[in-house]
Chains A and B, each alone.
Chain A
Amino acid sequence: MNKTSNVRDLAAIAKQVRREIVEMITHAKSGHPGGSLSAVEILVTLFFDVLRHDPQNPKWPDRDRFILSKGHATPVLYSVLAECGYTPKDQLNTLRKLGSIYQGHSDVRFLPALEASTGSLGEGLSIGIGMALAAKLDQSPTRVYVVLGDGEIQEGQIWEAAMFAGDKAVDNLVAIVDYNRIQLDGFVNDIMPLEPLADKWRAFNWHAVELDGHDIPALQAAFAEAAATKNKPTVIIAHTVKGKGVSFMENNPKFHGVAPTEEEMDKALMELA
C-alpha cells in the first residue's frame, strides 16, 4: 500500500471506499450503510496516513491497533482493509454470505487482520485500553485507536473504560466518537442526548478535540495533537453526517440499518462518480 498525507489523494480513496460500501451492502441485501458512510474520512485518514501498520506483516508486534467498536459499520473497515491490501477487493461483495471473510460484524476468526471481534456495543474501548497497557508494559511505540458510535456511548461500559483510562493516564489511546446524531430508533437527541459531550470526557480526565469528521486536514491535525498529548488519553469528537456522500441517505434514520435497493445503489454510485 502507498501511505500518503496528501489530502486530495485521501479524499479520492474516501470516495472509492464510499462506492464499495454502497455496493457491498446492496449485494448483501442487509447491513448498516449510514454509520459506515459517516466514518469514511476517519478510517481513511487513519489507515492511509496515521497508523503504523504493514499489510504484508499484519501481526507485527509494534504495529498500531485499530478497533471499530461500532461493529455494525464494519463495511467501511472491510473496504479500507481491502484498499490497503490486507484482503481481496474482489470478494467485498460476498459480505454477510456464508463462509465469507467479510462477516456481518467484525469477526477475527474469519479475518485475522482485525484486532477485535465487535458488534455488541460498548466493548471496544476496554479492549483498546488492554492493548494500550500491554504496549506500555512492552515499552512499545504502539498507539491504539478506537472508533465509537455516538449511540454506542450510551452503554455504561464506555464510561467505566473512560474513567479507567483517564485515571491511569493511558496516553497511547485515542477514542474517536463518530457523532452522526442518528441511532437505530431515530435521532440521538430524541433517544438519549449526549451533550455536553466534550465536557463529559474532560471530566473523566481526557484531552478532548471537536472537529468536522469529514475534514481530512482537521483529522490529521487532531491525530498529531493526540500523539503529542502526554499523561491523558485523547477523545476526538467527530461531528459527522450519517449516510455522508449519498444525498438520499444523508441524515436519514432509515439508512441506519437498511440496505439500498439496486436502483438506489445505481443512483448513489452516480452521485459518487
Chain B
Amino acid sequence: METKTKFELKMGMATREAFGRTVVELGRQNKDIVVLDADLSKSTYTHFFAKEFPERFFECGIAEANMIGIGAGLASSGKIPFASSFSCFAINKGFEQLRVAVAYPNVNLKVVGTHSGISIGEDGPSQMSIEDLGLACSLPGFVVLSPADEVSMRALVEAAAAHFGPVFIRAGRPKVPIVHSNQQRFEIGKSVQLIDGRDLTIIATGLLVAEAIRAQETLDAEGISARVVDMYSIKPLDRQAIERAAAETRAIVVAEEHLVSTGLGVRVAQVVAETRPCPMEFVGIEDTYAESGTPEELLEKYGLLAHNIVAACRRALTRK
C-alpha cells in the first residue's frame, strides 16, 4: 500500500470527463458495451462514445425512468450498458426502475451520475445530488463507487464493467486534483490509504479526498499525525481498513460531499460500532438544501473544506 507524507496536488480533469473517455476505450475493447443518456451527453461526456459508436449509443431524451428500464432490458439480453445523466436525475427520477427493474432482479446495468454534490455550483439545488449515495446504497446488491480523481475513475469504470451486477458510480462536475498515482490499484470493496498516521484517521470520498489531504498537512504542522484514506467503494465498504483505523488511531473523521444523515459517514460508523468503537466526527451537508453560488463559495458556506475537516479532527481528538 502506497503511503506518502507530503502531497503535491496537481489539477486533473473532472471525474465525469474521465468516465466519458474511459467508456470509449471500453467500447473499443468490447462490442457489448453500450451507452444511454437522457439529453445531457455533452455534460456527462458520453458524447465521445456517441460520436465513435453511434449504433451503440441510445439517446433517450429527457426521460430517465424509461432510460433505466431500457438499460435493464439491454443488460438482460447480454449487453453491458452504462446509463448516464446528472446524478440527481438518474437516481431520483430513475429510482423506482433502479429498484424493480435493476436491483431486485440483479441486472448488469451501470449507472453513472455526474454533477453530484453541491459543487455543480450556480445551477442550484434542483440540479444538486446530495442524496444519491444513500439512495444507491439502499438498493440491495448495488455496488456504489465514488472516485476522487481521474485515475480512480478510470480504474473504477473498468472495474464496474468487469463486475457482473448493478453498479452506481458518482462523478462530479468540477476539475479535481489528482490524488492517486497511475500505478495505484483499485478494487470494488477496497480503499486506498494515501497517508499513514497515528493520532486519528480521516476517511474521505470524492471531492473531499483532496480536502482531507490538505487538512492532514495543517494537522501535521501542529504535530498531529493523521491517516488519510480514500474510501472510494461506498458499498461494499472496506471493513478491514475501517476496523484497522479504529483500532490503530482510535479516532475517525468522515468527510463527504453528501448529506451526513445517509452517506458514507453513517456506514463507516456502523462498522466502527460493530468492531472497535471510538470517537467519530462527520463532515458533510447537514439536513438542508444548498443554493446558487460558485463551487468554492458553496463548499465554504456548507462546511466542506479542509479547515472544516481540521476542526472536526480537533473535536474528535478531545474525545479520545
Contacts and interface: CB of A to CB of B under 8 A. Distances in A.
B222 interface: no
B100 interface: yes
Given A157-B69, A164-B61, A164-B63, A131 B101 contact: no
B65 A134 contact: no
Interface stretch (B72-80, B169-177, B180-188): B72-80
Given A108-B105, A123-B101, A131 B74 contact: yes
A252 to B, nearest CB: 29
Interface residues of A, number: 33
Contacts of A168: 58
Choose among A107, A117, A125, A135 the residue with the greatest number of B CB atoms under 10 Å from its CB. A117
Given A129-B69, A164-B63, A116 B75 contact: no
A246 interface: no
A134 B105 contact: no
B295 to A, nearest CB: 32
A127 B63 contact: no
A119 B100 contact: yes
Nearest to B78: A134
A109 B58 CA distance: 28
Contacts of A247: none
A227 to B, nearest CB: 19
Contact of B73 (A108, A127, A138, A163): A127
A133 interface: yes
Interface string A135-147: 1011000100000
B105 A109 contact: yes
Interface string A108-135: 1100000111111001011111111111
B106 A160 contact: no
B97 A123 contact: yes
A160 B101 CA distance: 16
A129 B81 CA distance: 14
Nearest to A140: B77
A131 B70 CA distance: 8
Nearest to B103: A117
A21 interface: no
Interface in B27-76: 34, 55-56, 58, 60-61, 63, 65-76
B76 A116 contact: yes
B76 A130 contact: yes
B104 interface: yes
A123 B69 contact: yes
Contacts of A138: 77-78
Interface in B69-112: 69-79, 81, 96-97, 99-101, 104-106
Contacts of B81: 130
A81 interface: no
A170 B287 CA distance: 45
Choose among B34, B100, B106 the residue with the greatest number of A CB atoms under 10 Å from its CB. B100
A130 B104 contact: no
Interface in B89-141: 96-97, 99-101, 104-106
Given A137-B34, A157-B65, A164-B66, A130 B105 contact: no
A134 B106 contact: no
Given A117-B100, A137-B55, A137-B79, A126 B65 contact: yes
B96 A126 contact: no
A130 B72 contact: yes
B308 to A, nearest CB: 41
Contacts of A109: 104-106
A168 B54 CA distance: 13
Contacts of B55: 137
A123 B68 CA distance: 10
Given A126-B68, A131-B77, A137-B79, 7 more contacts: A116-B101, A120-B99, A127-B76, A137-B56, A157-B97, A160-B65, A164-B70
18 contacts: A61-B78, A107-B105, A108-B105, A109-B104, A115-B76, A116-B72, A116-B73, A116-B101, A123-B69, A126-B68, A127-B69, A129-B73, A130-B77, A131-B77, A134-B78, A137-B55, A160-B66, A164-B60
Interface of B: 34, 55-56, 58, 60-61, 63, 65-79, 81, 96-97, 99-101, 104-106
